[in-house]
Amino acid sequence: MNLALRLAEVGRLFPDHEALVFHDQRTPYATLNYWVNRFANGLKKLGLAPGERVLIALENCPEFVVSFYSVIGAGGVAVPIDPLYTIHEVAVIVRDASPALVICNSANISIFTELASELPIPRGFIVTNVAKTIPNAYSYEELLVSPPADDPARPRERDDVAEILYTPGNTGKPKGVMLTYGNLYSNAFTFARLCRLTSQDRTLLVAPAYHSAAQTCVLHASLITGATVVIHEKWPGARAVLQTIQDEKITFFFGPPTMYVLLLEEPQAENFDLSSWKIAFCGGAHLPVQVFHAFEKKFGLQITEGYGLTETSPVVCCNPVFGIKKPGSVGPPIPGVEVKIVDYEDQPLPTGQVGEIVVRGPNIMKGYFNQKEETQKVLRNGWLHTGDLGYIDKDGYVFIVGRKKNVIIRGGLNIDPREVEEVLYQHPQVFDAVVIGVPDPVMGEEVTALVTPRGHERLDPAEIQAFCAQRLAPYKVPRKIQCIEDLPKTTSGKLLKKEVKRMLEHMHRVGGGG
Protein backbone atom coordinates (compact mmCIF):
# COMPACT_ATOMS: atom_id res chain seq x y z
CA MET A 1 0.00 0.00 0.00
CA ASN A 2 1.10 3.59 -0.65
CA LEU A 3 -0.56 7.01 -0.37
CA ALA A 4 -1.73 7.12 -3.99
CA LEU A 5 -3.26 3.63 -3.90
CA ARG A 6 -4.91 4.35 -0.56
CA LEU A 7 -6.49 7.56 -1.87
CA ALA A 8 -7.97 5.60 -4.77
CA GLU A 9 -9.33 3.03 -2.31
CA VAL A 10 -10.85 5.73 -0.06
CA GLY A 11 -12.42 7.28 -3.16
CA ARG A 12 -14.23 4.01 -3.83
CA LEU A 13 -15.27 3.63 -0.17
CA PHE A 14 -16.52 7.20 0.35
CA PRO A 15 -17.20 8.64 -3.13
CA ASP A 16 -19.69 11.29 -1.98
CA HIS A 17 -17.92 12.25 1.25
CA GLU A 18 -16.21 15.66 1.35
CA ALA A 19 -12.47 15.30 0.83
CA LEU A 20 -11.44 18.96 0.56
CA VAL A 21 -13.03 22.27 1.52
CA PHE A 22 -11.38 25.41 0.14
CA HIS A 23 -13.24 28.70 0.37
CA ASP A 24 -16.62 27.93 -1.23
CA GLN A 25 -15.35 24.89 -3.12
CA ARG A 26 -16.37 21.51 -1.65
CA THR A 27 -14.76 18.51 -3.31
CA PRO A 28 -15.99 14.93 -2.68
CA TYR A 29 -13.56 12.02 -2.78
CA ALA A 30 -14.86 10.79 -6.14
CA THR A 31 -14.08 14.16 -7.72
CA LEU A 32 -10.67 14.40 -6.04
CA ASN A 33 -9.76 10.96 -7.41
CA TYR A 34 -11.03 11.93 -10.85
CA TRP A 35 -8.80 15.01 -10.82
CA VAL A 36 -5.77 13.08 -9.53
CA ASN A 37 -6.17 10.38 -12.18
CA ARG A 38 -6.57 12.83 -15.03
CA PHE A 39 -3.66 14.99 -13.88
CA ALA A 40 -1.40 11.96 -13.39
CA ASN A 41 -2.18 10.73 -16.89
CA GLY A 42 -1.55 14.24 -18.16
CA LEU A 43 1.90 14.16 -16.55
CA LYS A 44 2.65 10.87 -18.27
CA LYS A 45 1.44 12.34 -21.56
CA LEU A 46 3.99 15.13 -21.11
CA GLY A 47 6.65 12.41 -20.91
CA LEU A 48 7.17 12.20 -17.14
CA ALA A 49 9.07 8.98 -16.45
CA PRO A 50 9.17 7.03 -13.16
CA GLY A 51 11.78 8.48 -10.83
CA GLU A 52 11.86 11.90 -12.49
CA ARG A 53 11.51 14.81 -10.09
CA VAL A 54 8.66 17.33 -10.19
CA LEU A 55 9.10 20.57 -8.29
CA ILE A 56 5.83 21.83 -6.76
CA ALA A 57 5.81 25.51 -5.73
CA LEU A 58 2.24 26.03 -4.52
CA GLU A 59 0.59 27.33 -1.37
CA ASN A 60 -2.03 25.27 0.50
CA CYS A 61 -4.77 24.68 -2.09
CA PRO A 62 -6.58 21.79 -3.86
CA GLU A 63 -4.10 22.12 -6.73
CA PHE A 64 -1.27 21.25 -4.34
CA VAL A 65 -3.10 18.11 -3.20
CA VAL A 66 -3.88 17.03 -6.77
CA SER A 67 -0.34 17.75 -7.95
CA PHE A 68 1.33 15.85 -5.10
CA TYR A 69 -0.83 12.72 -5.35
CA SER A 70 -0.69 12.77 -9.16
CA VAL A 71 3.11 12.94 -9.21
CA ILE A 72 3.59 10.00 -6.85
CA GLY A 73 0.70 8.12 -8.50
CA ALA A 74 2.49 8.43 -11.84
CA GLY A 75 5.73 7.19 -10.28
CA GLY A 76 7.46 10.56 -10.19
CA VAL A 77 9.20 12.15 -7.20
CA ALA A 78 7.43 15.15 -5.66
CA VAL A 79 9.67 18.06 -4.59
CA PRO A 80 7.47 20.60 -2.75
CA ILE A 81 9.00 23.97 -1.90
CA ASP A 82 7.86 27.26 -0.40
CA PRO A 83 6.16 29.21 -3.24
CA LEU A 84 7.50 32.46 -1.73
CA TYR A 85 11.15 31.47 -2.19
CA THR A 86 13.21 34.02 -4.09
CA ILE A 87 15.02 33.18 -7.31
CA HIS A 88 18.27 32.77 -5.35
CA GLU A 89 16.73 30.14 -3.04
CA VAL A 90 14.95 28.35 -5.88
CA ALA A 91 18.11 28.23 -8.01
CA VAL A 92 19.99 26.25 -5.35
CA ILE A 93 17.23 23.63 -5.24
CA VAL A 94 16.76 23.44 -9.01
CA ARG A 95 20.50 22.90 -9.51
CA ASP A 96 20.50 20.10 -6.97
CA ALA A 97 17.19 18.38 -7.78
CA SER A 98 17.31 18.82 -11.59
CA PRO A 99 13.51 18.65 -11.88
CA ALA A 100 12.03 17.41 -15.14
CA LEU A 101 8.91 19.50 -14.59
CA VAL A 102 7.73 22.43 -12.47
CA ILE A 103 4.21 23.01 -11.15
CA CYS A 104 3.80 26.57 -9.92
CA ASN A 105 1.37 29.49 -9.89
CA SER A 106 1.04 32.67 -11.92
CA ALA A 107 2.78 34.64 -9.15
CA ASN A 108 6.07 32.70 -9.30
CA ILE A 109 6.23 31.35 -12.87
CA SER A 110 8.60 34.18 -13.88
CA ILE A 111 11.25 32.83 -11.47
CA PHE A 112 11.24 29.43 -13.16
CA THR A 113 11.16 30.70 -16.73
CA GLU A 114 14.16 32.89 -15.92
CA LEU A 115 16.03 29.94 -14.40
CA ALA A 116 15.16 27.72 -17.36
CA SER A 117 17.41 29.81 -19.59
CA GLU A 118 20.40 28.40 -17.64
CA LEU A 119 19.05 25.24 -16.01
CA PRO A 120 17.09 22.88 -18.27
CA ILE A 121 13.59 21.84 -17.17
CA PRO A 122 12.83 19.40 -20.00
CA ARG A 123 9.11 18.70 -19.43
CA GLY A 124 8.29 22.38 -19.00
CA PHE A 125 5.89 24.15 -16.64
CA ILE A 126 2.34 23.70 -15.41
CA VAL A 127 0.80 26.89 -14.06
CA THR A 128 -2.25 27.26 -11.80
CA ASN A 129 -4.58 30.28 -11.64
CA VAL A 130 -3.23 31.64 -14.90
CA ALA A 131 -5.26 34.34 -16.66
CA LYS A 132 -3.28 34.52 -19.91
CA THR A 133 -1.24 32.21 -22.10
CA ILE A 134 2.37 31.82 -20.98
CA PRO A 135 4.93 30.65 -23.57
CA ASN A 136 6.23 27.09 -23.08
CA ALA A 137 3.81 26.49 -20.21
CA TYR A 138 0.65 24.43 -19.75
CA SER A 139 -2.26 25.56 -17.65
CA TYR A 140 -3.32 23.34 -14.77
CA GLU A 141 -6.80 23.10 -16.29
CA GLU A 142 -5.38 21.75 -19.58
CA LEU A 143 -4.12 18.64 -17.82
CA LEU A 144 -7.48 18.06 -16.13
CA VAL A 145 -9.51 17.97 -19.35
CA SER A 146 -7.41 16.29 -22.00
CA PRO A 147 -6.20 12.85 -20.80
CA PRO A 148 -8.31 9.77 -19.96
CA ALA A 149 -9.36 9.38 -16.31
CA ASP A 150 -8.22 5.80 -15.71
CA ASP A 151 -6.34 5.24 -12.42
CA PRO A 152 -2.55 5.25 -13.02
CA ALA A 153 -1.61 4.48 -9.39
CA ARG A 154 0.38 1.27 -9.05
CA PRO A 155 2.05 -0.63 -6.21
CA ARG A 156 5.57 0.68 -5.66
CA GLU A 157 8.57 -0.72 -3.85
CA ARG A 158 8.68 0.45 -0.24
CA ASP A 159 12.20 1.82 -0.75
CA ASP A 160 11.42 3.76 -3.93
CA VAL A 161 11.72 7.51 -3.38
CA ALA A 162 8.35 9.30 -3.48
CA GLU A 163 9.35 12.75 -2.25
CA ILE A 164 12.36 14.99 -1.68
CA LEU A 165 11.98 17.71 0.93
CA TYR A 166 14.68 20.33 1.29
CA THR A 167 15.71 21.16 4.83
CA PRO A 168 18.34 23.60 6.17
CA GLY A 169 21.88 22.24 6.42
CA ASN A 170 24.78 23.54 8.45
CA THR A 171 26.73 24.67 5.39
CA GLY A 172 24.43 27.34 3.95
CA LYS A 173 23.15 24.82 1.38
CA PRO A 174 19.85 22.96 1.94
CA LYS A 175 19.80 19.16 1.97
CA GLY A 176 17.28 17.13 -0.03
CA VAL A 177 15.70 14.54 2.26
CA MET A 178 14.63 11.47 0.27
CA LEU A 179 11.44 9.95 1.69
CA THR A 180 10.15 6.67 0.31
CA TYR A 181 6.65 5.37 -0.34
CA GLY A 182 7.07 3.21 2.76
CA ASN A 183 8.25 6.13 4.90
CA LEU A 184 5.30 8.36 4.03
CA TYR A 185 2.57 5.75 4.27
CA SER A 186 3.77 4.13 7.51
CA ASN A 187 4.13 7.46 9.32
CA ALA A 188 0.75 8.82 8.18
CA PHE A 189 -0.97 5.52 8.98
CA THR A 190 0.54 5.27 12.48
CA PHE A 191 -0.22 8.92 13.27
CA ALA A 192 -3.83 8.56 12.08
CA ARG A 193 -4.29 5.52 14.33
CA LEU A 194 -2.82 7.34 17.34
CA CYS A 195 -5.31 10.18 16.78
CA ARG A 196 -8.13 7.71 16.03
CA LEU A 197 -9.00 9.63 12.87
CA THR A 198 -12.02 8.37 10.91
CA SER A 199 -14.09 9.51 7.96
CA GLN A 200 -16.18 11.55 10.42
CA ASP A 201 -13.27 13.81 11.35
CA ARG A 202 -12.75 17.26 9.91
CA THR A 203 -9.18 18.56 9.99
CA LEU A 204 -7.85 22.07 9.43
CA LEU A 205 -4.81 22.61 7.19
CA VAL A 206 -3.26 25.99 7.99
CA ALA A 207 0.43 25.14 8.47
CA PRO A 208 2.22 24.82 5.09
CA ALA A 209 1.75 21.47 3.33
CA TYR A 210 5.12 21.82 1.62
CA HIS A 211 6.64 21.03 5.05
CA SER A 212 6.62 17.48 6.34
CA ALA A 213 4.70 18.05 9.60
CA ALA A 214 1.48 19.48 8.17
CA GLN A 215 1.77 17.25 5.14
CA THR A 216 1.83 14.02 7.16
CA CYS A 217 -0.17 15.00 10.25
CA VAL A 218 -2.99 16.80 8.44
CA LEU A 219 -3.08 16.06 4.72
CA HIS A 220 -1.95 12.42 4.44
CA ALA A 221 -3.37 11.24 7.77
CA SER A 222 -6.75 12.70 6.81
CA LEU A 223 -6.93 11.42 3.24
CA ILE A 224 -5.96 7.84 4.08
CA THR A 225 -8.82 7.69 6.62
CA GLY A 226 -11.48 9.43 4.55
CA ALA A 227 -11.59 12.53 6.76
CA THR A 228 -12.37 16.00 5.40
CA VAL A 229 -9.51 18.52 5.04
CA VAL A 230 -10.51 22.17 5.34
CA ILE A 231 -7.79 24.29 3.74
CA HIS A 232 -6.49 27.80 4.38
CA GLU A 233 -3.72 29.03 2.04
CA LYS A 234 -1.82 30.34 5.06
CA TRP A 235 -2.38 31.58 8.61
CA PRO A 236 -5.40 33.90 8.27
CA GLY A 237 -5.35 35.25 11.83
CA ALA A 238 -6.54 33.72 15.10
CA ARG A 239 -10.12 34.95 14.79
CA ALA A 240 -10.50 33.51 11.28
CA VAL A 241 -9.13 30.15 12.48
CA LEU A 242 -11.62 30.03 15.37
CA GLN A 243 -14.42 31.01 12.99
CA THR A 244 -13.47 28.11 10.71
CA ILE A 245 -13.34 25.66 13.61
CA GLN A 246 -16.85 26.74 14.58
CA ASP A 247 -18.38 26.88 11.09
CA GLU A 248 -16.77 23.72 9.69
CA LYS A 249 -17.04 21.70 12.93
CA ILE A 250 -13.30 21.04 12.95
CA THR A 251 -12.22 18.11 15.17
CA PHE A 252 -8.43 18.19 14.59
CA PHE A 253 -6.03 21.12 14.37
CA PHE A 254 -2.26 21.04 13.90
CA GLY A 255 0.14 23.94 14.30
CA PRO A 256 3.49 25.01 15.72
CA PRO A 257 3.59 26.70 19.18
CA THR A 258 3.36 30.15 17.55
CA MET A 259 -0.17 29.44 16.32
CA TYR A 260 -1.30 28.40 19.80
CA VAL A 261 0.20 31.57 21.29
CA LEU A 262 -1.74 33.66 18.76
CA LEU A 263 -4.96 31.76 19.54
CA LEU A 264 -4.40 32.44 23.24
CA GLU A 265 -4.03 36.16 22.55
CA GLU A 266 -7.36 36.38 20.66
CA PRO A 267 -9.66 38.44 22.94
CA GLN A 268 -12.89 37.26 21.27
CA ALA A 269 -12.12 33.52 21.63
CA GLU A 270 -14.92 32.89 24.14
CA ASN A 271 -17.50 34.03 21.56
CA PHE A 272 -16.95 30.96 19.37
CA ASP A 273 -18.55 27.53 19.68
CA LEU A 274 -15.56 25.19 19.65
CA SER A 275 -17.35 22.11 20.98
CA SER A 276 -16.40 20.01 17.92
CA TRP A 277 -12.66 20.48 18.55
CA LYS A 278 -11.20 17.28 20.02
CA ILE A 279 -7.46 17.29 19.22
CA ALA A 280 -5.00 20.20 19.29
CA PHE A 281 -1.67 18.82 18.04
CA CYS A 282 1.60 20.72 18.22
CA GLY A 283 4.95 20.13 16.53
CA GLY A 284 7.79 21.90 14.78
CA ALA A 285 9.26 23.54 17.89
CA HIS A 286 9.25 23.22 21.67
CA LEU A 287 5.89 24.03 23.31
CA PRO A 288 6.42 26.18 26.44
CA VAL A 289 4.83 24.59 29.52
CA GLN A 290 3.06 27.85 30.38
CA VAL A 291 1.39 27.85 26.95
CA PHE A 292 0.16 24.28 27.56
CA HIS A 293 -1.48 25.26 30.86
CA ALA A 294 -2.84 28.61 29.63
CA PHE A 295 -4.39 26.94 26.58
CA GLU A 296 -6.06 24.25 28.69
CA LYS A 297 -7.44 26.90 31.02
CA LYS A 298 -8.81 29.09 28.22
CA PHE A 299 -10.06 26.46 25.76
CA GLY A 300 -10.57 23.41 27.99
CA LEU A 301 -8.36 21.37 25.69
CA GLN A 302 -4.90 19.92 26.30
CA ILE A 303 -2.37 20.43 23.51
CA THR A 304 -0.75 17.18 22.39
CA GLU A 305 2.93 17.80 21.73
CA GLY A 306 4.98 15.59 19.43
CA TYR A 307 8.48 15.53 18.00
CA GLY A 308 9.94 14.75 14.65
CA LEU A 309 12.25 15.75 11.82
CA THR A 310 11.93 15.97 8.07
CA GLU A 311 14.34 12.99 7.99
CA THR A 312 11.80 10.90 9.96
CA SER A 313 8.73 11.60 7.77
CA PRO A 314 8.42 13.37 10.37
CA VAL A 315 6.77 11.93 13.52
CA VAL A 316 9.06 10.20 16.06
CA CYS A 317 7.37 10.78 19.41
CA CYS A 318 3.93 11.81 20.53
CA ASN A 319 2.32 12.44 23.90
CA PRO A 320 -0.73 10.18 24.32
CA VAL A 321 -3.55 11.91 22.45
CA PHE A 322 -6.17 10.42 24.75
CA GLY A 323 -3.96 9.55 27.73
CA ILE A 324 -1.68 11.19 30.27
CA LYS A 325 0.41 13.99 28.82
CA LYS A 326 3.60 15.28 30.41
CA PRO A 327 3.96 19.02 29.78
CA GLY A 328 7.50 19.73 28.64
CA SER A 329 7.85 16.25 27.16
CA VAL A 330 7.31 15.16 23.54
CA GLY A 331 5.96 11.81 24.72
CA PRO A 332 7.11 8.25 24.07
CA PRO A 333 8.10 6.98 20.60
CA ILE A 334 5.19 6.14 18.29
CA PRO A 335 4.51 2.42 17.60
CA GLY A 336 7.16 0.81 15.40
CA VAL A 337 9.75 3.54 16.05
CA GLU A 338 12.68 3.19 18.46
CA VAL A 339 14.49 6.01 20.27
CA LYS A 340 17.62 5.86 22.41
CA ILE A 341 20.02 8.38 23.93
CA VAL A 342 23.73 8.02 23.14
CA ASP A 343 26.98 9.72 24.08
CA TYR A 344 29.63 11.09 21.71
CA GLU A 345 30.91 7.55 21.10
CA ASP A 346 27.41 6.28 20.24
CA GLN A 347 27.20 4.35 23.50
CA PRO A 348 23.72 4.16 25.08
CA LEU A 349 23.14 6.33 28.14
CA PRO A 350 21.05 5.41 31.20
CA THR A 351 17.58 6.71 32.00
CA GLY A 352 17.51 10.43 32.76
CA GLN A 353 20.94 11.23 31.31
CA VAL A 354 21.25 13.80 28.51
CA GLY A 355 22.76 12.80 25.19
CA GLU A 356 22.01 12.78 21.46
CA ILE A 357 18.66 11.42 20.34
CA VAL A 358 18.97 8.64 17.75
CA VAL A 359 16.05 6.98 15.95
CA ARG A 360 15.30 3.92 13.85
CA GLY A 361 12.12 2.59 12.28
CA PRO A 362 10.10 2.49 9.03
CA ASN A 363 9.93 6.31 8.96
CA ILE A 364 13.68 6.91 8.50
CA MET A 365 14.67 8.63 5.25
CA LYS A 366 16.56 6.84 2.51
CA GLY A 367 19.26 9.55 2.66
CA TYR A 368 20.17 13.00 1.41
CA PHE A 369 19.91 13.48 -2.35
CA ASN A 370 23.34 13.87 -3.96
CA GLN A 371 25.02 14.01 -0.52
CA LYS A 372 26.51 10.60 0.22
CA GLU A 373 28.93 11.89 2.85
CA GLU A 374 26.23 13.76 4.78
CA THR A 375 24.01 10.68 4.61
CA GLN A 376 26.73 8.45 6.07
CA LYS A 377 27.34 11.03 8.79
CA VAL A 378 23.77 10.89 10.15
CA LEU A 379 22.85 7.28 9.30
CA ARG A 380 25.39 5.41 11.41
CA ASN A 381 25.23 1.98 13.01
CA GLY A 382 21.65 1.50 11.85
CA TRP A 383 20.35 4.67 13.58
CA LEU A 384 19.50 8.20 12.42
CA HIS A 385 21.47 10.71 14.47
CA THR A 386 19.13 13.67 14.93
CA GLY A 387 21.56 16.26 16.27
CA ASP A 388 19.04 16.97 19.04
CA LEU A 389 19.88 16.58 22.72
CA GLY A 390 17.50 15.01 25.20
CA TYR A 391 16.81 12.32 27.75
CA ILE A 392 14.24 9.59 28.41
CA ASP A 393 12.54 9.37 31.79
CA LYS A 394 11.58 6.21 33.69
CA ASP A 395 8.17 6.09 31.94
CA GLY A 396 9.73 6.19 28.47
CA TYR A 397 8.80 9.83 27.75
CA VAL A 398 11.34 11.81 25.73
CA PHE A 399 12.41 15.33 26.74
CA ILE A 400 14.24 17.66 24.34
CA VAL A 401 16.78 19.92 26.03
CA GLY A 402 18.72 21.48 23.15
CA ARG A 403 20.31 21.08 19.74
CA LYS A 404 23.75 20.04 18.63
CA LYS A 405 23.06 21.41 15.18
CA ASN A 406 22.93 25.12 14.50
CA VAL A 407 19.36 25.71 13.33
CA ILE A 408 16.94 28.55 14.13
CA ILE A 409 13.30 27.53 14.52
CA ARG A 410 11.00 30.50 13.83
CA GLY A 411 7.28 29.82 14.02
CA GLY A 412 7.93 26.13 13.42
CA LEU A 413 10.03 26.76 10.30
CA ASN A 414 13.71 25.77 10.26
CA ILE A 415 16.30 28.33 9.17
CA ASP A 416 20.01 27.75 8.56
CA PRO A 417 21.92 30.77 9.97
CA ARG A 418 24.72 30.16 7.47
CA GLU A 419 22.34 30.71 4.56
CA VAL A 420 21.33 34.12 5.97
CA GLU A 421 24.97 35.00 6.71
CA GLU A 422 25.96 34.16 3.12
CA VAL A 423 23.37 36.65 1.87
CA LEU A 424 24.62 39.33 4.29
CA TYR A 425 28.17 38.80 3.01
CA GLN A 426 26.94 39.57 -0.52
CA HIS A 427 26.06 43.11 0.58
CA PRO A 428 28.86 45.40 -0.70
CA GLN A 429 29.07 47.35 2.58
CA VAL A 430 29.10 44.35 4.97
CA PHE A 431 32.50 43.09 6.07
CA ASP A 432 31.50 40.49 8.69
CA ALA A 433 28.24 39.04 9.92
CA VAL A 434 26.78 36.51 12.32
CA VAL A 435 23.16 35.35 12.57
CA ILE A 436 21.58 33.69 15.58
CA GLY A 437 18.13 32.86 16.93
CA VAL A 438 17.09 34.70 20.08
CA PRO A 439 14.06 33.81 22.24
CA ASP A 440 10.77 35.39 21.20
CA PRO A 441 7.45 34.96 23.07
CA VAL A 442 5.36 34.54 19.91
CA MET A 443 7.67 33.08 17.24
CA GLY A 444 9.75 30.92 19.60
CA GLU A 445 12.95 32.26 18.08
CA GLU A 446 13.58 35.35 16.01
CA VAL A 447 16.27 35.78 13.34
CA THR A 448 18.74 38.43 14.50
CA ALA A 449 22.06 39.60 13.06
CA LEU A 450 25.23 41.42 14.06
CA VAL A 451 27.09 43.01 11.14
CA THR A 452 30.31 45.00 10.84
CA PRO A 453 30.91 47.57 8.08
CA ARG A 454 33.52 47.43 5.35
CA GLY A 455 36.03 50.21 6.00
CA HIS A 456 34.29 53.26 7.42
CA GLU A 457 30.98 52.67 5.66
CA ARG A 458 27.80 53.59 7.50
CA LEU A 459 25.32 50.70 7.48
CA ASP A 460 21.57 51.20 7.32
CA PRO A 461 19.77 48.22 8.95
CA ALA A 462 16.57 48.87 6.98
CA GLU A 463 18.46 48.87 3.68
CA ILE A 464 20.23 45.62 4.63
CA GLN A 465 16.86 44.05 5.46
CA ALA A 466 15.55 45.11 2.05
CA PHE A 467 18.65 43.57 0.46
CA CYS A 468 17.99 40.29 2.28
CA ALA A 469 14.30 40.34 1.34
CA GLN A 470 15.25 40.21 -2.34
CA ARG A 471 17.24 37.02 -1.76
CA LEU A 472 15.45 35.19 1.08
CA ALA A 473 11.92 34.03 1.86
CA PRO A 474 10.22 36.51 4.24
CA TYR A 475 10.53 34.31 7.34
CA LYS A 476 14.35 34.11 6.95
CA VAL A 477 14.97 37.87 6.81
CA PRO A 478 16.54 39.15 10.07
CA ARG A 479 13.96 41.09 12.08
CA LYS A 480 16.68 42.98 13.90
CA ILE A 481 20.11 43.98 12.61
CA GLN A 482 22.71 45.56 14.88
CA CYS A 483 25.70 47.29 13.33
CA ILE A 484 28.88 47.13 15.45
CA GLU A 485 32.57 47.85 14.89
CA ASP A 486 33.86 44.33 15.61
CA LEU A 487 32.42 40.90 16.28
CA PRO A 488 33.64 39.26 19.51
CA LYS A 489 36.39 36.80 18.55
CA THR A 490 39.36 35.05 20.08
CA THR A 491 42.91 36.08 19.16
CA SER A 492 42.90 33.25 16.62
CA GLY A 493 39.79 34.66 14.95
CA LYS A 494 37.27 32.16 16.28
CA LEU A 495 33.84 33.62 16.93
CA LEU A 496 32.79 33.75 20.62
CA LYS A 497 29.29 32.39 20.16
CA LYS A 498 28.24 32.75 23.79
CA GLU A 499 29.20 36.42 23.77
CA VAL A 500 27.37 36.93 20.45
CA LYS A 501 24.27 35.29 21.86
CA ARG A 502 24.43 37.46 24.98
CA MET A 503 24.76 40.63 22.88
CA LEU A 504 21.92 39.66 20.55
CA GLU A 505 19.56 38.65 23.35
CA HIS A 506 20.23 41.99 25.05
CA MET A 507 19.63 43.80 21.77
CA HIS A 508 16.39 41.88 21.23
CA ARG A 509 15.13 42.73 24.74
CA VAL A 510 15.75 46.45 24.37
CA GLY A 511 14.36 46.47 20.83
CA GLY A 512 17.33 48.10 19.12
CA GLY A 513 19.02 47.76 15.78
CA GLY A 514 16.07 47.11 13.46
What is residue 129's predicted lDDT score, i.e. its pLDDT?
Answer: 86
Domain ranges of the chain: 27-151, 408-510
- Residue 509: which of 480, 471, 485 has the closest Cα? 480
For residue 402, give the nearest of 410, 412, 391 by alpha carbon. Answer: 391
Q: Which of 342, 287, 332, 336 has the alpha carbon at shortest distance from 313? A: 336
Could you tell me which of 170, 178, 166 has the C-alpha nearest to residue 92?
166
**Which option is the CATH number for 408-510: 3.10.180.10, 3.30.300.30, 3.40.190.10, 3.90.550.10?**
3.30.300.30
- Residues 181-195 as b or e (16 or more Cβ within 10 Å = b): bbbbbbbbbbbbebb
pLDDT at position 163: 98
Ranges of residues in the chain with a pLDDT under 50 are 512-514
Compute the Cα dihedral for 14, 17, 23, 24 and give only its sign: positive
What is the torsional sign of CA 505, 509, 510, 514?
Answer: positive
Residue 371: per-residue pLDDT: 95
Residues 6+ apart with CB under 8 A from 458: none
Three-state secondary structure readout of 164-228:
EEEECCCCCCCEEEEEEHHHHHHHHHHHHHHCCCCCCCEEEECCCCCCHHHHHHHHHHHHCCCCE
Domains 27-151 and 408-510 share a fold: no
pLDDT of 492: 54
Q: What is the pLDDT of residue 513?
A: 46
CATH code assigned to 27-151: 3.40.50.980
Give the per-residue pLDDT at 501.
74
pLDDT of amino acid 494: 62
Q: How far apart are CA 194 and CA 374, in angstroms?
A: 32
